[in-house]
Structure 1
Amino acid sequence: MNLKRTFGALLTVLGIVGLIYAAVIFVNASGGAKNIKSLIIYGLLGLVFFLSGINLVRTTKDEA
């Protein structure tokens, strides 16, 4: 397995974890400013990691 594909899979998993954590914060939010900031930060980081990981896996060619 290629190192780039492994790194892409790791980024994808980290992105999924970040998005799930943002969803948990959203469900348990009471409306405080700290909750909204952390929701935005974890959501955006999760989205960036997820999309970059998916893109890295898709664009990396297999070399057999």
Structure 2
Amino acid sequence: MNVKRTFGAILTILGIVGMIYTGYELINKSSAYTTLSVVGVIGLIFFFAGIGLVKNTKDEA
């Protein structure tokens, strides 16, 4: 498997985890909105960067 695809998959998973954590804490009415917004934005960046990396990397045999 290509290293770029592996790194993209890891970034995507980290982004999903960050977004789930942010959603969970918002539902539980956490008072740390600044921290949640930072985690949510970083999660979105990781998610879209990982998806883009997996999508744009060509397989070479």
Structure 1 moving runs of 4+ over 2 Å: none
- Structure 1 unmatched ranges of 5 or more: none
Match in the other structure for 2:25 = 25
Q: Percent identity?
A: 56
The residue identity in structure 2 corresponding to 1:51 is F
| CA shift digits 1:8-51 (9 cap, x unpaired) | 00000000000000001110115x3xx11111011001000000
Match of residue 54, structure 1, among 46, 51, 55: 51
TM-score by length of 2: 0.94
TM-score by length of 1: 0.90
The residue identity in structure 2 corresponding to 1:5 is R
